[in-house]
Structure 1
Amino acid sequence: MRENTEPMPEAARALLMYVVFPVWVAAGFADWACHRRTRIAQTSGLRENLLHLLLFAEMGAGIVAVVLLEINAAVLLLALVLFAVHELTVYWDLHWSVPRREVGPFEQMVHSFMEILPLASIGLLAALAWPQALALAGLGAEPADWSLRWKSQPLPPGMLLAGLALSVVFNAVPLAQETWSCVRWRLRLRTRGSPGPT
């Protein structure tokens, strides 16, 4: 079952690759900058950072599936489940961090982008495989395809490498820096025998 190549799905594919994904990466970098400005290591600490790593892994799993696998009912359902789990993790993150660290207006706006962009992505994915989106909802004439298989028309390797590089440089590396900062601060507190964020 091949993805539709009509103009609407092509527009959805272009929006995903050239608008939604780069803005999503930029929002992740802006979020890291907010954490750094509010001294996450010394306020909400390693626990919040570990939640950020979990959020990154949840969305990363969804992106890898969408990039490598044929978009069908199974992949759409996986994306929806990961989005729901991501939202629960966001709530857990905010429940922990807001009492311990300033989450200002700009960071709240960044969070808005980071929550709406995955949902927009799911909508665009549904447009890419509309018969399967209908099948997932129990509608349409086409049966739901629950198989997980590689794309019949893989994305160009250069595009995959560019996306990976963007995510590593602007998301993974900053997150690693945040983790190291939190671990180093915790070790410093233990050396001093002082209480700190857990």
Structure 2
Amino acid sequence: MDTHSLLIQVLLYVFLPLWGIAGFVDWCCHRATRIEATSGLKESLVHSLMGVQVGIPILLCLLYEVNVLVLLICLAAWLLHELVAHWDVHYAAPRRHISIWEMHAHSYLASLPFYMLAMIVVINWPVMRDLLALDWAGQLRLQPLDAPHGGEGYLPVYLGFMALLAFLPYAEENLRCLRHALKPRRTLT
């Protein structure tokens, strides 16, 4: 197996699943601290936003050839994710307990997108050179991949994995927080 293929395998079968697992651990921590009664729907929606900010570049890289447009989207999404993640912790810290487990999950959730981006840049180094040289001619369009990454059937399995570990838990968290926000408050008279 050549280095290029090895990097793709590490990205697909180590980094992408680890990101989903770290997100699930983070969700478990939110549930344990009763996020719905503390920082509430606002923080929960921010978690979903951060998932989308990393999910879009992942899907683009799995479905399309990485060109300057895809790489620009990946770079912008990573930068926005970092800004939102910083704001998220700043918002949540005074409102609820952030356990050592949650901090550990956050370290993965912050570092893995950077590692994935770095690997995408290394795997597609000629594209990065074009981006830096502003040689973008013909590269600002989506170009479908000729073949799926990781072999036949990777994308449906990965999407199912992420649905179970990320999409469904965070949808549940959003609904739980929304129900709590809409619940009538008792007043003492």
Partner-residue secondary structure (3-state), 2:153 = helix
Alignment pair present for 1:19 and 2:14: yes
Q: Identify the residue that residue 82 of structure 1 maps to in structure 2.
A: 77
User: How far 1:157 moved relative to its partner?
Assistant: 4.9
User: How far 1:113 moved relative to its partner?
Assistant: 0.5
Counterparts of 1:114-153 in structure 2 under 5 Å?
114-138=109-133, 143-144=135-136, 145-153=139-147
Partner-residue secondary structure (3-state), 1:192 = coil
Q: Identify the residue that residue 65 of structure 2 maps to in structure 1.
A: 70
The alignment covers a number of residue pairs equal to: 185
The worse-fitting range, judged by mean Cα deviation, of 85-94 and 161-170 is 85-94
User: How far 1:152 moved relative to its partner?
Assistant: 2.3
User: How far 1:191 moved relative to its partner?
Assistant: 4.6
- 2-side partners of 1:191 and 1:100: how far apart? 19
- What runs of 5+ residues in structure 1 fail to find an aligned partner? 1-5
Partner-residue secondary structure (3-state), 2:66 = coil
- 2-side partners of 1:9 and 1:57: how far apart? 27
- Say what the alpha-carbon RMSD is for the aligned residues: 1.8
What do the CA deviations read for 1:78-125 (whole angstroms, capped 9, x no partner)?
A: 101000011111122112111101112221111110011111111111
Alignment pair present for 1:95 and 2:84: no
Q: Identify the residue that residue 54 of structure 2 maps to in structure 1.
A: 59
Q: Which amino acid aligns with 1:165?
A: G
- 1-side partners of 2:102 and 2:50: how far apart? 16
Q: 1:56/1:193 Cα in 2 relative to 1: closer, same or farther (>3 Å)? A: farther
- What runs of 5+ residues in structure 2 fail to find an aligned partner? none
State whether residues 78 and 113 of structure 2, in contact with CA within 8 Å, keep that contact through their aligned partners in structure 1: yes
Q: Identify the residue that residue 107 of structure 1 maps to in structure 2.
A: 102
State whether residues 148 and 154 of structure 2, in contact with CA within 8 Å, keep that contact through their aligned partners in structure 1: no
Q: Which amino acid aligns with 1:159?
A: Y
Give TM-score, length-normalised by structure 1: 0.87
User: How far 1:40 moved relative to its partner?
Assistant: 0.3
Q: 1:181 aligns with which of 176, 179, 184?
A: 176
Q: Identify the residue that residue 32 of structure 2 maps to in structure 1.
A: 37
User: How far 1:192 moved relative to its partner?
Assistant: 2.7
- 1-side partners of 2:75 and 2:37: how far apart? 35
User: How far 1:53 moved relative to its partner?
Assistant: 1.2
Q: Percent identity?
A: 34
State whether residues 71 and 128 of structure 1, in contact with CA within 8 Å, keep that contact through their aligned partners in structure 2: no
